[in-house]
Amino acid sequence: MHKPVLLKEVIRYLNPQPQDFFIDGTMDGGGYAREIIEKIKPGGIFLGIEWDNDLFQKIKTEFVPRNDVRIILKNKNYADIKEILKAEKLPLAQGLVLDLGFSTWHIQASQKGFSFQKDEPLIMTYNTKETNISAFQVVNYFSVDKIAEILKKFGEERNAWKIAEAINRVRKHKKIKTSKELGEIIEKTVHWKSKIHPATKTFQALRIYVNRELENLEKLLKTIPDIMQSGGRVGILSFHSLEDKLVKTYFKNLVKEKKAILLNKKIIQPTLAEIKNNPQSRSAKLRTIQII
């Protein structure tokens, strides 16, 4: 199960209290949700959102109705929080947390090809009902130019052209169907010096592109003043520079417009002890603001 990153810091900065209305926009395994629910009882409201269809079904069995906190779960994208509040006739929130990292569950159990270490179908979509394109389609049918553009833009991959051309050479003879196949193509193409596997950035880029992750994040950031009440606190954990740059920019603009204050002026990152216990937390960055 996915371990919540910087859990103590998230709770400390967002400071959930009894009777508060809190939103977890990326529930995943429910690590933040469990802590928040305990803090907002009695009388609190908790809105949990999870976009992945399969993961949402799992969450529904674990977060059952209770008397001391009203729990609302939605199989939606966090970008739609504003619409969800309106549809459910919910008030503005006192707290919002977003963990933008993809889950350990996606790597280990989803069978959707998120990891080059597994031999799984090249899918990489969180929500099969709302996502119109898969990684398989990108890899096998997009032009070389477009693939290179995606790898460079969403993966910051220096070898984008070389990888795109290698993919094109292979797909002329056969379809690239699995995550392992794609990983091996990249491994044979890029000279491997560092500890980071050469397919890492390509897989990141494909995942971000097919799930429209940056578009969804930007939509959510634009609606923060509309979904949070005065004094409400927002915490967002990012795991790569593209996300963090967006969050940093929007938070800075809210402060400049005197709509928010920064709760932490310096980025909050995991301690060495947390990284040792949970290696996937190593690239996490937490930024928090309070709405004025």
Q: Residue 193 above 80 pLDDT?
A: no
Point out the least confidently predicted range of 23-27, 145-149, 233-237, 282-286: 282-286
Residue 64 scores a pLDDT above 80: yes
Q: Are 187 and 197 in contact (CB under 8 A)?
A: yes
* CATH dotted code for 7-105+213-291: 3.40.50.150
* pLDDT at position 200 over 90: yes
CATH number at 132-211 = 1.10.150.170
Q: Quick one: what percent of the chain has pLDDT higher than 90?
A: 83
Q: Where in the chain is the domain with CATH 3.40.50.150?
A: 7-105+213-291
Residue 224 has pLDDT above 70, yes or no: yes
For CATH 1.10.150.170, list the domain ranges present in the chain: 132-211
Flag whether pLDDT at 1 surpasses 80. Answer: no
pLDDT tens-digit readout, 84-99: 999 999 999 999 999 9
Q: State pLDDT tens for residues 100-120.
A: 987 777 888 888 999 998 999
Rounded to an integer, the average pLDDT of 126-149 is 94
36 SS3 class = helix
